[in-house]
């Protein structure tokens, strides 16, 4: 009976990864000569080191200034972030959020936006000069209400950096592949655009997840969601510098899964958790033969998908680190999934309780 159950879960998992793979390859590029008006809204906290680079990238956007506004919302920074923004020569709208948290800061920015299309990123990201243009291209289709874009890590120096990069690529690729398969369940607010008319306050005052819950809201409304598979649209950020920061980030992401109401998100989260839990339990109970069979199948299935993503994200030279990640991943993902539901985490120098 146990063997049948294992085979069933392995097959379900393999099929799910195959759907991501097919969905990724089904994504079509977007081209448009239309330049819709857009409000770029960026919520930030304690980003004084990154603000000069952010302002430089915003100033270099190849987009008509008549169709573009920048709104930056400070989320109670206790460094010089707000002052640096106010001193900028760029035409910025600089606000101070009235409530703590990224969700409240983002909502404040959206509320004062004068245009219907909202484009978001994070203050620690680097942007190409074509970023706005590429992310806005799909909006020539009036049926599209949310656009997800690629995010990638840069400044990869250590083995730990490269572990994070490969794992993060798999997350972004899975979200993109699901969109390509018409089963959207995940996106990243570091690179996302949506119509202001569909923006809504999602349920649950939690520390993060407004990107995912907005996607679920748009999906439920029946509006169209797309992913921009264009290298010029990639926003680049840096991996976490310490294990503590890394685990806090991953726990923050995983914590929102208990609030999912979207069937696809619930299903995929469950399947991924189960396959990794099985590997953990097989090893813990010394069922080594079964462990190696399941692990080998998962290893190959995942590798084929990771390899298909690596060229787009400029990670081909880091593929050898996949094998390192694959051995650690089952233990890491089980611990993060469980601990995120029962313990607190820190984010932006704030502690959040479950």
Q: What's the CA dihedral at 156, 160, 166, 170 to 10 degrees? A: -130
Instruction: Work out the burial of residue 280: count CB atoms within 10 Å of its CB; fewer than 13 is exposed, 13-18 middle, 19 or more buried.
Output: middle
Q: Are 186 and 178 in contact, with CB atoms under 8 Å apart? A: yes
Q: Are 138 and 217 in contact, with CB atoms under 8 Å apart? A: no
Digits of tens for pLDDT over the chain (354 positions)? 667 788 889 999 999 999 999 999 999 889 887 789 999 999 999 999 999 999 999 999 999 999 999 999 999 999 999 999 999 999 999 999 999 888 889 999 999 999 999 999 999 999 999 999 999 999 999 999 999 999 999 999 999 999 999 999 999 999 999 999 999 999 999 999 999 988 854 544 444 447 898 999 999 988 999 999 999 999 999 999 888 888 888 888 887 777 788 889 999 999 999 999 999 999 888 888 889 999 999 999 999 999 999 999 999 999 999 988 898 888 889 888 888 777 665 666 555 555
Q: What's the whole-model pTM score? A: 0.92
**Residue 206 φ/ψ, nearest 5 degrees:** -110, 170
Per-residue model confidence (pLDDT) at position 50 = 96
Q: Are 352 and 291 in contact, with CB atoms under 8 Å apart? A: no
Question: pLDDT tens, 225-258?
Answer: 999 999 999 999 999 988 888 888 888 888 777 7
> DSSP letters of 162-177?
HHHHHHHHHHHHHHHH
Question: pLDDT tens, 191-218?
Answer: 999 999 888 545 444 444 478 989 999 9
Per-residue model confidence (pLDDT) at position 208 = 46
Query: What is the β-pairing status of strands 151-153 and 144-148?
Result: unpaired
How far lies 266's CA from each of 13, 300, 339, in Å? Answer: 14, 24, 18
- CATH 3.90.550.10 maps onto the chain at 27-240
Residues pairing with 193 in the sheet: 119, 147
Instruction: Work out the burial of residue 265: count CB atoms within 10 Å of its CB; fewer than 13 is exposed, 13-18 middle, 19 or more buried.
Output: buried
Q: Are 177 and 20 in contact, with CB atoms under 8 Å apart? A: yes
The top-level CATH class assigned to 27-240 is alpha beta
Which two structure tokens, joined as six digits, stand for 202?
A: 């999602």
């Amino acid at each position: 009976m146990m063997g049948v159950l294992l085979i069933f879960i392995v097959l379900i998992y393999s099929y799910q990864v195959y759907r991501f793979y097919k969905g990724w390859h089904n994504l079509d590029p977007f081209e448009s000569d239309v330049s819709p008006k857009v409000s770029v809204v960026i919520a930030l906290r304690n980003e004084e080191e990154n603000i000069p680079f952010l302002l430089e990238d915003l100033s270099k956007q190849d987009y008509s200034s008549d169709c573009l506004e920048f709104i930056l919302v400070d989320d109670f920074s206790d460094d010089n972030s707000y002052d640096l923004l106010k001193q900028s020569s760029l035409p910025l709208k600089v606000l101070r959020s009235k409530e703590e948290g990224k969700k409240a800061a983002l909502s404040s920015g959206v509320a004062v936006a004068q245009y219907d299309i909202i484009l978001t990123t994070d203050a620690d990201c680097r942007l190409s000069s074509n970023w706005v243009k590429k992310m806005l291209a799909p909006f020539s289709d009036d049926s599209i209400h949310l656009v997800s874009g690629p995010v990638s890590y840069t400044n990869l120096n250590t083995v730990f950096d490269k572990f994070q990069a490969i794992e993060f690529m798999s997350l972004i690729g899975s979200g993109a592949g699901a969109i390509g398969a018409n089963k959207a369940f995940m996106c990243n607010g570091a690179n996302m655009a949506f119509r202001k008319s569909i923006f809504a306050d999602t349920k649950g005052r939690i520390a993060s997840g407004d990107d995912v819950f907005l996607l679920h809201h748009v999906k439920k409304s029946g509006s169209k969601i797309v992913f921009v598979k264009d290298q010029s649209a990639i926003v680049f950020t840096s991996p976490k510098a310490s294990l503590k920061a890394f685990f806090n980030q991953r726990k923050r992401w995983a914590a929102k899964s208990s609030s999912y109401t979207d069937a696809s998100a619930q299903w995929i989260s469950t399947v991924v958790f189960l396959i990794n839990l099985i590997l953990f339990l097989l090893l813990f109970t010394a069922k080594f033969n079964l462990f190696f069979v399941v692990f080998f199948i998962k290893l190959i299935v995942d590798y084929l998908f990771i390899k298909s993503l690596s060229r787009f994200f400029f990670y081909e030279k880091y593929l050898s680190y996949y094998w390192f990640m694959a051995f650690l991943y089952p233990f890491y993902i089980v611990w993060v999934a469980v601990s995120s539901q029962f313990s607190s985490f820190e984010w932006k120098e704030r502690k959040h309780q479950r």
